[in-house]
Chains A and B, each alone.
Chain A
Amino acid sequence: MDAQSLLILDLEKCTRCDQCVKACAEAHDGVTRLLRDGVRFDKYLVATSCRQCRDPLCMVGCPVGSIRRRNSLEVIIEDWCVGCGLCASNCPYGNITVHEFDRDGAGGKYKDAGDHGKVRKATSCDLCHDLEEPSCVYACPHDAAHRVNPTEFFANMLGQDISSALTTSPVEVKR
């Protein structure tokens, strides 16, 4: 499942102003796709937000094939999602949630079963893929929020090159 992109918050910079959460909600129909809570690694908080796994369990079994990759890093949940919640229960990190959205005023975005009433959709961080930088990172005034490649980031933090260590055989390491 190796994560390819983590949303981390530097807790020595973060003033807990929640601009990241509000920006995410603003960018996604009023529903945030990140939670400013999660596991901590030293001074970094790994926020509850999609990690863009290399081998995503959430994609397994989607009945309508709406959760997928478009030949890119980000896992996208397409508009034809039926809100069954299978991907949410498959995600080992609890990074996918199912919400109800109003069809009214959505500009015809949700056409699957009519133009009015509510519709259930799964939501997960899409890295704001059509924008240069994710909204949460862009809106953080304190330079505390970053999307990082965990292998590179934590290797730099620990002062070693983890990727080369992983590809090096034990014998070579001994030498």
Chain B
Amino acid sequence: MRIDSTHRPWLWFSIALIAVSTAIYIPYARMTTPAGSTAVGLTFGVIALGFMVFAALLSLRKRYRIMRIGSARVWMKAHLWLGTLALPMVLFHAAFHARGLLAFILMTLTFIVVFSGIYGAYLQHTLPTRMFREVPYETIYDQIGVIQQQLAAEARQHATNVTQMLAPASGAGATVTMTLVEIPEYGTEVAAFDTFFDTRVEPYLQAERKKAIGMDLRHSADAARAFEDYRKLFPPTAWPPITALEDICSEKRQLDHQIRLHHWLHGWLLIHLPISAALFLLAFIHAVVALHY
């Protein structure tokens, strides 16, 4: 979610909550030894747990997408801000100390969850713009494999066009043509182009993103140089299919870049979600144990 001016009310609410909490905590800490078991400490703990519960409910809200319980954008904003506010509330609750193993684990998990969430929010704030600007050929993520196959087939067609266009004349009438007009021979160059296509272009187009990392056509400057070399070797009639091949390689490069950005956009959830679940579970155990004993 993009952090823009629509978040201003939440920002003011957060500042106010932290200010009020600090104003309560400082005299309380001066009067007595602060701890989670005191009335003030418990209040902070209950608020922190409430924020965590609400933040966790976003996953349920996303599962029941069409249920009319508030729009997803409002839930997401609340998730971002209340989830972040859970951290200062936990710190006030624990009096900035982690006493005991469970408390230490809980504190550590809270830090990881909140900071992974902030990192995720940063990625979701910046990466969509990068995707929009750097991947003009962007497509639906699940379709990338299909499009890659189509690109490879299209490239094969363009390569065939180049070789057929420049192949030495053959068949009936070839001898007559060759004696009437002086046609330059491109046999060696065409063979080199075929090898270039078979060993570098086609494997690159068919390679998955990780395998393509070591290939020279992955770099736009190297690719431009390679295709320019063949344009210099061949007559202008062969340039359009060579340029089309270069464009196909460029599209493949963009699709790989899209995959990379997509993984960045959603990959952080692999840390955020399981640790949030663990935190949620342990926080409940902590609350039950603390209230019972």
Q: List residues of chain A with CB under 8 Å of any chain B CB.
A: 11-17, 19, 22-23, 26-27, 35-37, 43, 131-133, 135, 137-144
* Residues on A with beta carbons closer than 8 Å to the beta carbon of B65: 19, 22-23, 26, 135, 138-139
Interface residues on B, range: 20 to 34
The answer on a CB contact under 8 Å between A143 and B68 is no
Q: Which residues of A contact B211 (CB under 8 A)?
A: none
Q: How far is the CA of A131 from the CA of B141 in the complex (A)?
A: 30
Contacts of A35 in B (CB 8 A): 140
- Shortest B2–chain A CB gap in Å is 5
Q: Dominant SS at the B interface?
A: helix
Specify which chain A residues have a CB less than 8 angstroms from the CB of B132 in the assembled complex.
11-12, 43
User: A15-B265, A37-B139 are known contacts. Are A26 and B66 too (CB-CB below 8 A)?
Assistant: yes
Q: Would you call B157 an interface residue if the criterion is a C-beta within 8 Å of the partner chain's C-beta atoms? A: no
Task: Give the number of A-B contacts (CB < 8 Å).
Answer: 72
Closest residue to B258 on the A side, CB-wise? A16
**Hey, which chain B residues are within 8 Å of A37, CB to CB?**
139-140
Q: Is the CB of B262 within 8 A of A16?
A: yes
User: B interface vs A, CB < 8 Å?
Assistant: 1-2, 6, 58, 62, 65-66, 68, 71-73, 75-76, 124, 127-129, 131-132, 139-141, 262, 265-266
Q: Are B141 and A141 in contact (CB under 8 A)?
A: no
Q: For B72, give the chain A residue with the smallest CB separation.
A: A141
The residue that B128 contacts in the complex, of A11, A137, A139, A140, with Cβ under 8 A, is: A11
Query: Are A16 and B72 neighbours in the complex by a CB distance under 8 Å?
Result: no
